[in-house]
Amino acid sequence: MLRWLIPLIIVTILAVILEIYTFNALKTISKNKFLRFTFLIASCIVYINFFITVFSYDRSNGQTPQFQMAMGLLLTFLIPKLVLFLLLFGEDVYRWIVKGISAFSSSETQPLAGRRKFISQLALGLAAIPFVSFIYGIIQGKYNYKVIKYQLSFDDLPAAFDGYTITQISDIHSGSFTNKEKIQYGVDLINEQKSDLMLFTGDIVNNQADEMDGWIDVFAKLEAKEGKYAILGNHDYGDYMDWKTPEDKTNNFKKVKEIHQKIGFDLLLDEHRYLEKDGQKIALLGVENWGKGFNQAGDLQKASANVKKEDFKILMSHDPSHWQEKVKMDDFNYHLTLSGHTHGLQMGIEIPGFFKWSPSQYVYKQWAGLYQEFGRFINVNRGFGYHAFPGRVGIWPEITVIELKKA
């Protein structure tokens, strides 16, 4: 419980400051006490729910949907108030500067009440944008599946694979799911792509294998003409739970690996497979999770054993930092790498073809979409599911379809 103490103190101090500014903003633009106190009571309910959830949270159960919802509601209330605070605090600073100048001059300052009301109205209006966005993200945004298509050309692609299509999905996180009908819709949308190959790039659960029990029948319906292959993600190892015994963790990991077989996927554990078509072939490689600074279980050399340098290669590696740190510079030439992991932080702003931003970009150089360096490509899938925050704001769940072309 002590590990939560400092974060809770910080959240409490932040919440008090934000509530003071929000309450005063409402007071400035409206004399309606019912409005002000109703909003304050709603905020208190969110905070109390969060604190109760945290203090009663049993880490041995993993991150439950209840914990995620408490976190989601907290962010939904805090982030809009943070926007409001930044505007009003900025106005306060300006007002203090003006008062300071007037104290050392003979000039008289103009009344600031009118400007304060205008700034309060503006701040509340701007704060409403993230508030509504987060509400939408929790209710509907996490199911707003987008099919993103790329056509990639390679000089050395075997001619038989010209026009070959790959559907990539990633980060299912089945332990977060609550709506079977919506998830079934997403699975149906994946199947509608009718790709030759289906690749899943890790994180099938949040922590525990049994999170997938109620979803086996749904994901077993995934279809691809030439086969389905998968790798593990960082959450599949059970590293984010307090297990009662090491044996429990080992048994859980074994069951997580067995899930892939149950839904018809060939799980690659530092292995490769050759895909053949009309007498020609390409190499498909899959490594265990390799992340910069943590859980570097993946062994690229082991996965590449008996693969020739001149072979056309597709690599599945869950964490894009692997590509940044190791893969893209490897002279063995991995033509296309498929990753996930980042989720694009599940929140950000994207205007396709013009603008893309998320806090995720300050952690990962490749965080969402297609990137190219040294003539090699990586696609970072934004994820099918969601984790921690029970929604998506601006960064929608993704189904990637890649068509390979002979240049």
- pLDDT band (50, 70, 90) for residue 127: very high
Q: Is 141 exposed, middle or buried (CB count within 10 Å of its CB: 0-12, 13-18, 19+)?
A: buried
Backbone angles phi, psi at 270, to 5 degrees: 55, 50
Judge whether 364 and 321 are in contact, CB under 8 Å.
yes
On the question of pLDDT at 29 being above 90, the answer is no
Alpha helices by DSSP H, 267-316: 300-303
- pLDDT band (50, 70, 90) for residue 109: low
Query: Is 73 in the same domain as 181?
Result: no
The CATH number assigned to the domain holding 174 equals: 3.60.21
Beta pairing, strands 349-351 & 336-339: unpaired
CA distances from 333 to 160, 200, 310, 338, 376 (A): 20, 22, 8, 14, 8
Q: Quick one: average pLDDT of 51-71?
A: 81
Q: Quick one: average pLDDT of 253-262?
A: 98
Q: Quick one: average pLDDT of 382-402?
A: 97
Q: HSE (CB half, 13 Å, CA atoms) of 398?
A: 28
What is the full DSSP assignment across 119-160? HHHHHHHHHHHHHHHHHHHHHTGGG--EEEEEEEEETTS-GG
Query: Is 202 in the same domain as 78?
Result: no
Tokens 């049994």 -> residue? 210
pTM, rounded to two decimals: 0.90
Among the residue ranges 48-52, 195-199, 375-379, the one predicted with the least confidence is 48-52
Number of domains in the chain: 2
Judge whether 397 and 143 are in contact, CB under 8 Å.
yes
| Domain stop point among 106, 139, 172 | 139
Tokens 């505007």 -> residue? 87
Query: Is 29 in the same domain as 174?
Result: no
Query: Is 126 in the same domain as 150?
Result: no
Query: Is 115 in the same domain as 224?
Result: no
Query: Is 131 in the same domain as 185?
Result: no
Q: In whole angstroms, what is the distance from residue 370 CA to residue 337 CA?
A: 10
- pLDDT band (50, 70, 90) for residue 7: confident
Query: Is 51 in the same domain as 182?
Result: no
Q: Quick one: average pLDDT of 373-385?
A: 96
Can you give the pLDDT at residue 110?
54
Q: Percentage helix, strand, coil, to 5, in the chain? A: 50, 20, 35
- pLDDT band (50, 70, 90) for residue 106: low
Closest CA to 126 of 84, 76, 73, 78: 84
Mean pLDDT of the chain: 92
DSSP conformational letter for 328: T
Q: In whole angstroms, what is the distance from residue 3 CA to residue 150 CA?
A: 44
Query: Is 229 in the same domain as 84?
Result: no
Can you give the pLDDT at residue 391?
96
Give the pLDDT confidence of 142-156 residue by residue, as tens digits: 999 999 999 999 999
Residue span of the structural domain in which 85 resides: 2-139
Give the pLDDT confidence of 288-329 residue by residue, as tens digits: 999 988 788 999 999 999 999 999 999 999 999 999 999 999
Closest CA to 253 of 226, 232, 224: 232
What residues pair up with 310 in beta bridges, in sequence order?
none
